[in-house]
Amino acid sequence: AQTVTQSQPEMSVQEAETVTLSCTYDTSENNYYLFWYKQPPSRQMILVIRQEAYKQQNATENRFSVNFQKAAKSFSLKISDSQLGDTAMYFCAFMKGTSGSRLTFGEGTQLTVNP
């Protein structure tokens, strides 16, 4: 079974600064996908970024980028130029490539952006 670990329950950052959220996972699969989801106080789950394991290039979406280290089974999220609206719970998630239908989530990291 796959496991996803987020070792930082809470983090804080000043507005306009950069912050990195950590995620590690355990799997014997070679083909899989990794995701970061954001959950603001509204409770809505929002897809932030997606990474395909067979792609070497790290995914980026505007101010969000990942550092995907396949050998180390590490998938960190970097948020640049942090904004107050980035305050949210962030979840790392894993999906096997063969099933393509089941997401395994980490416990989440609560990020607070301070003015």
Partner 1 sequence: NAGVTQTPKFQVLKTGQSMTLQCAQDMNHEYMSWYRQDPGMGLRLIHYSVGAGITDQGEVPNGYNVSRSTTEDFPLRLLSAAPSQTSVYFCASSRRAGYGYTFGSGTRLTVV
Residues 80-109, mask of contacts with partner 1 (x by CB under 8 A): -----------x---x-x-xxxxxxxxxx-
Token pair 């790392």 in the structure block, residue = 92
Q: Which stretch binds partner 1 (CB under 8 A): 10-18, 47-55, 58-66, 71-79?
A: 47-55
Q: Cβ of residue 33: shortest distance to partner 1, in angstroms?
A: 5
Residue choice 12, 18, 40, 47 for contact with partner 1 (CB under 8 A): 47
Quote the tokens at residue 36. Answer: 């970061």
Residues facing residue 5 across a β-bridge? 24
98-103: long-range contacts, CB 8 A cutoff, minimum separation 24: 98/29, 98/31, 100/33, 103/35
What is the SS3 assignment for 8-27?
A: CCEEEEECCCCEEECCEEEC
Tell me: does residue 63 bind partner 1 (CB under 8 A): no
Residue choice 21, 23, 25, 35 for contact with partner 1 (CB under 8 A): 35
- Could you list the residues that contact partner 1 (CB under 8 A)? 4, 33, 35, 37, 42-47, 50, 52, 91, 95, 97, 99-108
